[in-house]
Amino acid sequence: MKFKPLTKNQIIISIDRLTRFKPTEEKYLRVFKDIIISNLIEPKFKKQDLENLDYITLRNLAVEIFNGSLKENNTDNLILNQKLKKYENSVFINSEFVNVLLDNDLDYISALKLLEKPIPINLRWLKEMMSDVDMYRLREEKTLQYPVSLVVLVEGITEEILLPAFSKVLGFDFLKYGIKIIPAGGKNQVVKLYYSLSEELKLPIFVLLDKDAVENVNLINKKLRKDDKAYLLNSGEFEDLLPLNLILKTINSHLKNFATITLSDLESEGPMVKVLEDIFKRCGIHEFKKSEFAHLLQSQIKTEADISNEIRSIITSLKEMSEKHDKSLI
């Protein structure tokens, strides 16, 4: 076999992708195929050819190229490979064929020596796995997020940005307790993603939807597993749950000296997003964008007074679900 060595960047990208929160088969096949297509010289395979290769051959080709690209080798120590296999099988429902991909000799130990700061959280977790300390204790001590204990499906980026910020003020750090938030990009996509993940995941799933997603919640409830929960907001969108005082200080901090608003400006009828769009337009600042405003809000969340009762209730449910999962593993 003849191949060109992987670059340092290719090596780091490969181990990064292999340790992200993605279905096992999907990410391993992607990484192994990318390695072969990009770096194998002889024998040469086209993408279509790889579809017909058995998993053992595919794995062995990729591993030989990967390890052969490293200046030093530690293939006698496969502790990380064993721990990754155990973890992947604790999170995802994997067939015996997928376990063939996990039974590899990738030299993670040598590859990790190539990392430079800042290190992605999943690779920080991989480095910490060399320790003999219980991974759940390490997760809390090192704020690693991994092992993941609970998946939260939300409609958009606002929830992804703000839920962890609110929760942290309440003393429940998502990264310490393994909470993984996935924005689906709309209520219909939430349903599709739940259907997919409920077939692949062993972890509990919390689904959060806006008030208008009644039909979507009904579809989810038809397939809801016993440890999952679907939650419909009591009013409007997530922005409608935000305390007015938090919105007020966020906007005035953003506007600074050239304009200010009062609580009465926020007490207009209608969805909060529409109110904010009108304020931004009237004040002559840039167009209102949910993601940008969520980041502005995030920096202003300081105390429990900045958290509404419904947001507090949602976070309490997340805490209970993650703790229940972790206790089931003891």
Is residue 30 over pLDDT 70? yes
Tens of pLDDT, residues 35-44: 999 999 999 8
Tell me how far CA of residue 185 lies from CA of 113, 155, 158, 314, in angstroms.
37, 5, 11, 20
Beta-carbon contacts of 249 under 8 Å, excluding residues fewer than 6 positions away, are: 300
Strand ranges, E, within the chain: 2-3, 40-42, 150-154, 179-183, 205-209, 229-232
pLDDT in tens, 57-83: 999 999 999 999 998 887 788 999 999
pLDDT at 286: 79
* This prediction's pTM: 0.93
Mean pLDDT of 186-195: 97
Residues 90-117: pLDDT tens digits?
999 999 999 999 999 999 999 999 999 8
| Nearest by Cα to 160 from 277, 16, 17, 297 | 297
Distance CA 330, CA 315 (A): 23
Helices (H) and strands (E) in the chain, counts: 17, 6
pLDDT band at 270 (very low <50, low <70, confident <90, very high): confident
3-state SS, residue 268 = coil
How much is the pLDDT for 95? 97
* 55-68 and 24-39 helices, crossing angle to 10°: 60
For strands 205-209 and 229-232, give the pairing: parallel
Alpha carbons within 13 angstroms on the beta-carbon side of residue 226 total 2
